[in-house]
Chains A and B, each alone.
Chain A
């Protein structure tokens, strides 16, 4: 049978010693009378050990009488016997039941609230909003009325477009999606200039409202007014408008990296030391917290919240600090290696400023300088970008 040993263990079984000269006959009779036996093992010339279910033991007695064998129970194992063993230990059983009830009670409450999503709203504000809706640590899960909370927060906050709740074990994950295209009517109506937020040469300028201040080909700096909110009428009167338009600017970005032929690099030696703290709720228990004796080291902090079935969180946290010993090693680069590395780092530097992924930079955009000690690569790229931010005119 599939999973037979597990079934036998759950049901409970006896290990029986059979003493006699006709064990074969004993076994054959067991089979003909449908007695379940297994793991038949000869101990000595006249002794054999077998395993059988408890309810079959009385049948074995009859068979033993017929075959002139003597049977004794060596030990009893499995489910029923374990239960019988604990039948008399009432305080222990009460403790076990109490613990189970406590775990059940604790698991019906929220012990951690996580706020997820990408937003620019300060997290304190969101926490405050949740607190106003009585979403707090220690609250019962069934008291969470998601729809009401959502509708209240939507009504109060114009900048939240969507909210999601996910309860995993004792952890509530609240996701927020921020409205990104909010334009306040008062701001839209208020007079403003369009100013440059970049430095470069104006490639194209198209004005929807306002007065054009710069022309195509002009060099502008960050903060310069591109479209003015002051409009002069034919009769000479000046009125203030909410200026608007599209401006394309030619900008330059420079990525630079220098790689020396000799470089001191901290390398891990492989030696590690650990500090460990186990946190039960808010109570930390320090198992080891001595710091490290290493002179140079990297610190890796790992906080793990224990999960049951890889999903449900329980209020036990494992905080581990790993100290990794480092040793300073001098690395020598060949000219080609240093050049390749410098190119890559200059590209990273460029990408960091431009915040886009750049590939296949032509060689003529690169300036390579090699001296006795280092290689310097400078990459210069020109971009056409849409610029301009609205700057309210203060009276």
Chain B
């Protein structure tokens, strides 16, 4: 069905979509919720963890979050 209608996977399953701009911005769609947050480390409930320096949540809403800072590492647990 999904293939026949060519529906994107993230709509049917609870997948997250991540967009990285340079080494400064990370845009995560469908992040679910924030588990841990500090200057160097942000962990989300969708098993994504971002490591870096001076991390800041520039924009946040129910589905999307924009993390700004010096991104060093992104981990999928």
Contact = CB atoms under 8 A, between A and B. Distances in A.
A23 interface: yes
A91 B58 CA distance: 40
A102 interface: no
B62 to A, nearest CB: 5
Interface stretch (A31-39, A124-132, A283-291, A314-322): A31-39
Contact of A24 (B36, B39, B56, B61): B36
A39 B60 CA distance: 8
Given A34-B62, A42-B38, A28 B56 contact: no
B35 to A, nearest CB: 6
B59 A24 contact: no
A31 B37 contact: no
B38 A38 contact: no
B59 to A, nearest CB: 5
Interface in B39-60: 39, 55-60
A208 interface: no
What band does the interface of chain A fall in when counting residues whose beta carbon is under 8 Å from B? 10 to 19
Given A27-B60, A38-B57, A40-B56, 5 more contacts: A24-B34, A28-B33, A32-B62, A38-B60, A42-B55
B60 A24 contact: no
A41 interface: yes
A23 B38 CA distance: 9
A42 B56 CA distance: 7
A252 B36 CA distance: 97
Q: Which 9 pairs of residues, A with B, have the shortest CB-CB distance?
A: A40-B57, A28-B33, A24-B34, A41-B56, A31-B62, A42-B39, A24-B37, A38-B59, A27-B34
B33 A38 contact: no
Interface string A4-36: 000000000000000000011001101110101
Contacts of B33: 24, 28, 31
Contacts of B37: 23-24, 27, 40, 42, 48
Contacts, number: 42
Chain B at the A interface: SS class: strand
A24 B35 contact: yes
B41 to A, nearest CB: 10
26 contacts: A24-B33, A24-B34, A24-B35, A24-B36, A27-B34, A27-B37, A28-B33, A28-B34, A30-B60, A31-B33, A31-B62, A34-B62, A36-B61, A38-B59, A38-B60, A39-B58, A40-B37, A40-B56, A40-B58, A41-B56, A41-B57, A42-B37, A42-B38, A42-B39, A42-B55, A48-B37
A48 B37 CA distance: 10
Nearest to B56: A41
A42 B69 CA distance: 12
Contacts of B34: 24, 27-28
A27 B60 CA distance: 9
A30 B34 CA distance: 11
A40 B62 contact: no
B36 A38 contact: no
A358 B14 CA distance: 81
A40 B57 CA distance: 5
Contacts of A34: 62
Contacts of A27: 34, 37, 57, 60
Interface in A26-65: 27-28, 30-32, 34, 36-42, 45, 48
Contacts of B59: 38
Contacts of B35: 24
A162 B37 CA distance: 77
A62 B62 CA distance: 18
A37 B55 CA distance: 16
Contacts of A40: 37, 56-58, 60
A32 B45 CA distance: 15
A28 B39 CA distance: 18
Contact of A38 (B39, B55, B58, B62): B58
